[in-house]
Structure 1
Amino acid sequence: MHDESQPQLFTDAKNSCVPDSFEQILASLAARPKYLPEWPDGQRAMPNEILRSALFNCRNRNLSRVFMKEAEIAVIGDGQVIYRGEELRQDDELVWMHLMHLIKKIPLGECVEFTPYSFIKALGWPIKGQNYERLRTCLSRMQATALRIQSKRLQCFISISLIQKFMSKNDRDENLSRWQVWVGKEMQLLFDEEFLTRVAWETRRLLPDGIASKLFGYWASHRKPYPVKIETLLKLCGSGMKAKHFKAELKKALDLLKEVGFLEAWEFKNELVVVTRRY
């Protein structure tokens, strides 16, 4: 049994992996910088492959999360995402964005420490007991994941866990004053400078978890967004809504993205969504 937290090679008849061996991937990792790329404090960064997939969906928070086993996740454009773990949503994405912001300041593979208070405050969540537990649950959920991603620029499937290790309590089940998280060095493969999207953090954290926050990330990954079918956005959001209901909620999300200044304009052309970004 392989360690899902380490990069793995997967090949098939349709898509062969350019590197010949696992050792070559490890060698390429050793040759790369030990840090994630830089971005300003007012931004957060995400790999395009993730922003353009339904990995972090926007299903209603009142619906129970399902466990996904080797599930193929919807992707717009190039690539394929296979996921194993509990369903991830927009609150998980917000947590992961900020965690990666903290991780970039230390060498990958080393432990990053933070107080849960500072983390929750940075997310814009109210400082109350249930949000401490909510944060703990998000981090624990992302630790127990296996994510396989393939795209042209990666040239093969890689398999990682979003979080390698997480500690918030000691061996006596007492809360730690400073929580600890480890992320594996293989995260460099996803956070390639040329395939990252930097988003305005203040805008992202103020958007309610849902269609608006999901599409904010998706359209941020395109300098000039192209028209997209409503049906395609429905799959990207992974909301589980009926098409008619989704279209009504989509209108509200587009109006909100315009209201916060991200979109200059939007319109429906038949069954296409056409948007113009302001920034």
Structure 2
Amino acid sequence: MQHNTMLPTDDYSSSESFEQILQSIAARPKFLPEWPETQRAMPNEILRSALFNCRNRNQARQFLKDAEIAMIGDGQVIYRGEELRQDDELVWLHLMHLAKKVSLGSCVCFTPYSFVKMLAWPIKGQSYERLRTCLSRMQATAIRFQSKRIGSFVSVSLILKFRSRNDANENLPRWEVWVGEEMRLLFDEEFLTRMNWETRRSLPDGIASKLYGYWSSHRKPFPVKTETLVKLCGSGMALRHFRIELKKALDVLVSVGFLDSWHVQEDLVTVTRKY
């Protein structure tokens, strides 16, 4: 399978500049940065975008074709593939935790039992199929990230390939996943957010889990408009319904000890982190 590479920005269109970029990628470490077993990490560009949205699971997933994904702050995300949601994010968080233990491009191996257990999903066949579906969905993606710090990517898949069955269509005892070397460009130490894993996996898929990631990427969160959070969450809710669910999610984030307080005034949401 051919690996995707970073494209030059408009300011660097010559072949010489492109070769320099390729050399820069080759010179980078082939391992992701470190973080403790009690944490999981994700690039800020993803946490501050609606790439992993929080639509209701009862709604059919859309297939997006080169769609621009809502993002707060610098950058742009163009996505092609089946809609990604918070369960996909949870899977990808743990997968990247396993991937940091091997060189990028190498095989990441695990038992489906151990993976599902770490997600705090019920240990049953339905959860294994759910995991397989999430991995398949993330393999069939094409994502272009663009920002001042990374330039732009072309058709990067969250997962290069994965195997859960053998040639006879029998389940493998250990599943195999490959993550591309280009992920090292996204997982830059200075633009990485580490989150408490126990807190993240305890949250229900939805607005609370989405905003936990978003506000984790800000040490001192700034006030943000409710309509901006609607776009970030990609929930598809009407604004009046979102306001109701937002307050419930904020209470959840207080109850798990992440937020110390919150208030909404004139549709401007202000939160204070506890840690």
Q: Which residue of 2 aligns with 1:180?
A: 176
Residues 41 and 192 in structure 2, CA contact (< 8 A), matched pair in contact too: yes
CA separation of 1:122 and 1:17: change in aligned 2, threshold 3 A: farther
Measured in 2, the distance between the counterparts of 1:198 and 1:125 equals 22
Q: Which residue of 1 aligns with 2:35?
A: 39
Measured in 2, the distance between the counterparts of 1:220 and 1:108 equals 26
Residues 49 and 72 in structure 2, CA contact (< 8 A), matched pair in contact too: yes
Q: Report matched runs for 1:222-261 at 5 Å.
A: 222-261=218-257
Q: Report matched runs for 1:1-279 at 5 Å.
A: 5-9=3-7, 11=9, 16-17=11-12, 21-279=17-275
Measured in 2, the distance between the counterparts of 1:125 and 1:268 equals 33
Residues 67 and 87 in structure 1, CA contact (< 8 A), matched pair in contact too: yes
- CA displacement, residues 116-168 of structure 1 (integer Å, 9 cap, x when unaligned): 00000000000011000000000000000000000111133454110001000
Q: What secondary structure is seen at the aligned counterpart in 2 of 1:267?
A: strand
Q: CA RMSD in A?
A: 1.5
CA separation of 1:10 and 1:26: change in aligned 2, threshold 3 A: closer
Q: What secondary structure is seen at the aligned counterpart in 1 of 2:151?
A: coil
Residues 262 and 271 in structure 2, CA contact (< 8 A), matched pair in contact too: yes
Size of the aligned set, in residue pairs, is: 274
| CA drift at 1:273 | 0.1
Letter in 1 for 2:7: L
Measured in 2, the distance between the counterparts of 1:62 and 1:116 equals 25
- CA displacement, residues 33-64 of structure 1 (integer Å, 9 cap, x when unaligned): 11000000000000000000000000000011
Which consecutive unaligned segments of at least 5 residues does structure 2 have?
Answer: none
| CA drift at 1:21 | 3.9
Letter in 2 for 1:24: Q
Q: What secondary structure is seen at the aligned counterpart in 1 of 2:145?
A: strand
Which consecutive unaligned segments of at least 5 residues does structure 1 have?
Answer: none
More deviation in 126-135 or 150-159? Answer: 150-159
Residues 163 and 183 in structure 1, CA contact (< 8 A), matched pair in contact too: yes
Letter in 2 for 1:195: F
| CA drift at 1:271 | 1.2
Residues 150 and 158 in structure 1, CA contact (< 8 A), matched pair in contact too: no
| CA drift at 1:22 | 3.6
Measured in 2, the distance between the counterparts of 1:195 and 1:17 equals 23
Residues 8 and 159 in structure 1, CA contact (< 8 A), matched pair in contact too: no
TM-score (norm 2): 0.96
Letter in 2 for 1:125: W
- CA displacement, residues 10-31 of structure 1 (integer Å, 9 cap, x when unaligned): 645xxx3588544323211221
Q: What secondary structure is seen at the aligned counterpart in 1 of 2:7?
A: coil
CA separation of 1:67 and 1:17: change in aligned 2, threshold 3 A: farther
Query: What is the percentage of aligned positions where both structures have the same residue?
Result: 73
Residues 57 and 90 in structure 1, CA contact (< 8 A), matched pair in contact too: yes
Q: What secondary structure is seen at the aligned counterpart in 1 of 2:182?
A: helix
